[in-house]
Chains A and B, each alone.
Chain A
Amino acid sequence: MVAIDGAAAKELVASIADDLPVGIWAARAPSGELIYANRTFTEIMGMSARDDVAAGQYAAPYGIYDRKGALYPEDQMPFMRALRDRRTVTVDDIVIHRPDGAQVNIRAQARPIFDAEQQLTHIVIAFIDISREVAAERVRDNFLSIASHELRTPIATLQLKVQSMLFRCRNEADAIAERMTEWLSVCEHQVRRLAALSDQLLDVSRIQAGRFELDLEELDLVALLRTSIALFSEQSRDEGTELRLEGPLSLHGRFDAHRVEHIVTNLLSNAVKYGRGRPVVMTVSTIGERVHIEVRDQGIGVAPEDHARIFQPFERAVSPRSYGGLGLGLWIAHQSASKIGGSIRVESEPAGGAKFIVELPWLR
C-alpha cells in the first residue's frame, strides 16, 4: 500500500464516507452535539444535519415519526436507547417526513463508542432507507389477505357440495352409491387439504396485519378439547390414528375458544402427520395459575437442534419432499399461543416421539 500523508488521508476517508449507501451521523454523548454527517444522511433526511438541536429534541426538527404517523417518542430514539443501554440498538419503524413532502422508511442502528476508561463518549448512527422493503411487505400482506379470501369462497362451495353428495351416498345401499362414496371420499380429502392450506394463508395474513383479537369467554376447556378432537378425528379418519384425551372431566375458566381450538388442531394435525399411525394422547392439567395442554405422539420425533427452528415460518425438521404442507402450522400455533398470553414448546428426541406443551393463563 502507498503511504499518504495525514491531510490526503482525511480527504480520502471523507470522500469514501460520503459515497457510502448508508447515512452516517455522529455526535458527542450525552449532549448530542453534532460532530459529523455524511452526504447520504443529507439525501435520506432531505436536509443537512443540524448542529442546533440537542439530544432529546430530535423528532420535530428532523420530522421523525413512527409508522402510525405520531412523532417518534424522544425516549425511544436510537440515540437515547444506546445511551441508556450502553449497547448497539437497531429500530426499523422510523418514518422520516421530509421537508419536500416525501416519506422515507428508515432502519437506524445506533452504536455507542467508549474511551479507554469505558466512558461512553460518542454515538454513531447508521441510517438505511428501507422504503422499498416496507412497500414490498405491504404488497405481500395485501396479496395474502385477498388471495386467501378469494380462494376460500370457491373452496367452501366445493367442500359443501362434495360433503353433501357424500352424506347422500352413505345413506344409499346400492353398488353405485358405494363406489361413489369411495370416489367422493378422495375428493373430500383433497378439498380439505385445500381448505386447510387456505386457512393457513388467512392466519398468516391476520398475524402480519396484527389483527388477532382476544375473545375470552367462560367455558369448559375439557369439553372444548373433546369437541376439537372429535371434529379432528372426523376430518382425518382416513389416517386411522387413535386420538385420546386424558385429564380431569372438566376444567372451567375464561379462554379464547377459537384460538385454543386453533392451536390444538394445528398440534393434532402435526402429531397425526408425523406420528407413524401410533396413538396420539392429549393431556390437560393445571399448575398454579397456568393450564398445560400436552400433545404427545410416538412418531419420528424432533432432533434437539431443531426444537427452536420448527416454530419459525416456512421451517420444518424434515424434508418437504417426504412430508407436504407449507411449514406454517407450528409458527401459527406459536403466534396464537403468545397472543393469548401463553407459550408453546417441544420436548423430543429423534425417533422417540414428540411432546408439544402448550401453557395458557388460567383465568377464572
Chain B
Amino acid sequence: MASLILVVDDDDDFRLTCIEALMTAGYRANGAANGIEALALLRSGGELPGMIVLDLMMPEMDGYDFRDAQLHDARLAPIPVLVMTAGGQPATDRLVGATFLSKLAPLPKLFAVVERLLTRATPASRLPL
C-alpha cells in the first residue's frame, strides 16, 4: 500500500490542496489543523504516517511545540518531519532533525523531498507493505 502522509497546517485551503496534491502523486494523506489535533490523531491507535508535513505558525499548538512533543514520544519520534513555511527563517535549533522546504517550492521538488524522507523513514514508523 502507498505511504500515508500527515499534513499539519491551520490554513484549510493549503492543507486540503496539499493532501490532494500528495494523493495525485499516489500517496495516501490525511490532515490536522494544529499540533493538538495532530497529536490526538497520532495517538488514536490508527495507522502511523510514514512522514509529517508541518506548518510552524498555528493556533493552539504551533509547529515548534508539536515537534518537541513528538520527539518526547518514543513511538512518534522516528517519523520524519518536513517543515513547510511561508516565510521567515525558522528557528532550526528548535526543530532538531527536521527537513525544511519553502511553501513556494514547485511541486516536483515537494515530491522529490517527500520521496527521500519516506525512504529514509525508520522501519518502526512504516507499516509493512
Contacts and interface: CB of A to CB of B under 8 A. Distances in A.
A156 B108 contact: no
Contacts of A96: none
Residue of A163, A192, A198 with highest tally of chain B CB at under 10 A: A163
B87 A152 contact: yes
Contacts of B17: 157, 160-161, 164
Interface stretch (B60-68, B71-79, B99-107, B118-126): B99-107
Contacts of B108: 231, 234
A206 B24 contact: no
A73 B20 CA distance: 58
Interface string A269-305: 0000000000000000000000000000000000000
A312 interface: no
A317 B62 CA distance: 45
Contacts of A149: 86-88
Interface in A144-184: 145, 148-149, 152-153, 155-157, 159-161, 163-164, 167-168
Contacts of B102: 199
B89 A164 contact: no
B11 interface: yes
B104 A235 contact: no
Interface in B81-129: 86-89, 92, 102-104, 106-109
Interface in B13-33: 13-14, 17-18, 20-21, 24-25
A211 interface: yes
B45 to A, nearest CB: 31
A143 to B, nearest CB: 13
Interface in A222-239: 231, 234-235
A195 interface: yes
A157 B13 contact: yes
Contacts of A211: 89
A199 B87 CA distance: 9
Contact of B20 (A164, A199, A215, A235): A164
Nearest to B104: A195
B24 A152 contact: no
A358 interface: no
A268 to B, nearest CB: 14
B86 A156 contact: yes
B86 A152 contact: yes
B24 A168 contact: yes
Residue of A152, A153, A211, A235 with highest tally of chain B CB at under 10 A: A153
Give chain A's interface residue range (CB within 8 Å of chain B): 20 to 34
A110 interface: no
Nearest to A212: B89
Contacts of A168: 24
A231 B88 contact: no
B14 A156 contact: yes
A160 B89 contact: no
Given A152-B86, A231-B109, A159 B11 contact: no
Residue of B17, B21, B87 with highest tally of chain A CB at under 10 A: B87
Contacts of A156: 14, 86, 103-104
A234 B21 CA distance: 18
Contacts of B24: 164, 167-168
Contact of A153 (B14, B21, B92, B109): B14
A11 interface: no
A167 B11 CA distance: 22
A202 interface: yes
A83 B108 CA distance: 60
A264 to B, nearest CB: 15
A89 B1 CA distance: 70
A153 B86 contact: yes
A160 B109 contact: no
A213 interface: yes
Contacts of B11: 153, 157
B17 to A, nearest CB: 5
B93 to A, nearest CB: 11
A231 B13 CA distance: 25
Given A148-B87, A213-B89, A155 B104 contact: yes
Nearest to A199: B104
Interface of B: 11, 13-14, 17-18, 20-21, 24-25, 86-89, 92, 102-104, 106-109
The 3 closest A-B pairs by CB, nearest first: A156-B103, A149-B87, A163-B107
Given A164-B21, A235-B106, 7 more contacts: A145-B87, A152-B86, A159-B106, A160-B17, A164-B20, A164-B107, A199-B102
